[in-house]
C-alpha cells in the first residue's frame, strides 16, 4: 500500500512538472526587439571629414574683380588698362549659370611694343581686366623680345580660347574652369612678319626661347599648363590667375 502511494505521488509530480514546462510564460521581449527598426543593420556613424579633406575641396577664392559692383569694376579696369601699350575694347557685362560671368569684360586686341610696333592678339580674347593687363605685359616684355632674338619680327599672338562658360577640361564632373570667370586664356602660336609660325607647344622649338617663355609665364601667372601636364594641353599653353592658399602656383610645361 505504501509502495503504491509512493508510485502515485511520483507520477503526480512528474505530470505536474510536465504541465509546468508547457504552461510557463515566456519572458517579455527586450526593449530593442520592440523597435520597428530592429531589423535594420546598425552601422557605426561615418567619421567626420579630416581637415586635409576639407582643404582639398574648399572653393577657390574669387578674384577681386569678380566681387566688385559694375561701376567699381569699370573703374578698376580703367586703372589696370591705363597703360598705353594695351589696345582693348570694353564689353558688356557677362552673366551665366553656375557662377559663370565677368563684371567688366574686355577684349585684348593688340599690344604696342617699345618701338611702337603693334602686335595683334587674335582672335581677340574676352577676359577680365587683370588678365588682360598681365597677358599684355607678358607679350610686350617676354614673348616679343624672346622670339625676335634671332631677327624675326613678331606680327601676331594666336589664341585658342579665353572666356568660356564650362567646367575644367570640359569634364562634366569637374570644378568650374577659370575660363568661365574670364581668368584664363589659351595661347597656341606666334606668327612673324615673314610668314613663319612658332607653335608654342612644339617640343622642337629653340630651347633658349622655349625656356624663356616658360619661366616668365610661370612667374607671372598662377597656373601654366602645357605639353606633359594632364593630357588636355598638348597643343596649346593654358595661363590663368586662379587664387590659391598661400599663393600656391602650378607650372607644368614640359619643353623636351
Check residue 236 and report its DSSP letter.
Answer: S
Size of the chain in residues: 256
For 158-178, give the DSSP string.
Answer: EEEE-----BGGG-TTSPBPG
> Which pLDDT score, from 0 to 100, does residue 186 have?
98
Q: Lowest-pLDDT range, 68-72, 92-96, 161-165?
A: 68-72
> Which pLDDT score, from 0 to 100, does residue 40 have?
35
pLDDT of 134 > 90? The answer is yes
pLDDT of 192 > 70? The answer is yes
Question: pLDDT (tens digit, 9 = 90+) per residue, 22-51?
Answer: 444 545 444 444 333 333 333 444 444 333
Within a 10 A sphere around the Cβ of 161, how many other Cβ atoms? 17
Beta bridge partners of 184: 240
The whole-chain average pLDDT of the chain stands at 80
Q: Which residue has the higher pLDDT, 12 or 164?
A: 164
Burial class, 65, CB count within 10 angstroms (exposed 0-12 / middle 13-18 / buried 19+): buried
Is the entire prediction scored with pTM above 0.85? no
What is the CB-side half-sphere exposure of residue 64 using CA atoms within 13 A? 10
Residue 229 in contact with residue 151, Cβ under 8 Å?
Answer: no
Residue 65 in contact with residue 247, Cβ under 8 Å?
Answer: no
Amino acid at each position: 500500500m505504501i509502495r503504491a502511494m509512493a508510485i502515485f505521488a511520483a507520477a503526480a509530480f512528474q505530470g505536474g512538472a510536465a504541465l509546468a514546462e508547457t504552461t510557463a510564460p515566456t519572458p517579455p521581449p527586450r526593449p530593442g526587439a520592440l523597435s520597428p527598426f530592429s531589423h535594420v543593420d546598425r552601422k557605426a556613424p561615418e567619421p567626420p571629414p579630416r581637415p586635409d579633406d576639407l582643404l582639398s575641396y574648399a572653393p577657390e577664392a574669387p578674384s577681386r574683380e569678380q566681387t566688385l559692383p559694375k561701376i567699381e569694376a569699370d573703374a578698376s579696369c580703367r586703372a589696370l588698362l591705363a597703360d598705353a601699350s594695351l589696345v582693348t575694347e570694353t564689353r558688356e557685362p557677362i552673366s551665366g549659370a553656375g557662377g559663370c560671368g565677368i563684371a567688366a569684360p574686355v577684349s585684348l586686341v593688340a599690344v604696342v611694343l617699345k618701338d611702337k610696333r603693334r602686335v595683334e592678339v587674335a582672335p581677340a580674347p574676352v577676359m577680365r581686366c587683370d588678365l588682360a593687363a598681365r597677358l599684355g605685359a607678358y607679350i610686350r616684355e617676354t614673348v616679343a623680345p624672346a622670339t625676335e632674338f634671332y631677327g624675326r619680327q613678331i606680327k601676331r599672338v594666336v589664341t585658342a580660347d579665353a572666356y568660356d562658360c564650362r567646367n575644367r577640361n570640359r569634364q562634366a564632373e569637374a570644378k568650374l574652369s577659370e575660363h568661365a570667370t574670364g581668368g584664363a586664356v589659351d595661347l597656341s602660336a606666334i606668327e612673324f612678319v615673314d610668314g613663319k609660325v612658332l607653335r608654342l607647344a612644339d617640343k622642337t622649338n629653340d630651347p633658349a626661347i622655349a625656356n624663356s617663355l616658360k619661366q616668365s609665364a610661370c612667374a607671372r601667372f598662377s597656373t601654366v599648363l602645357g605639353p606633359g601636364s594632364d593630357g588636355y594641353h598638348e597643343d596649346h599653353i593654358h595661363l590663368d590667375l586662379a587664387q590659391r592658399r598661400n599663393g600656391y602656383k602650378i607650372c607644368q610645361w614640359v619643353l623636351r
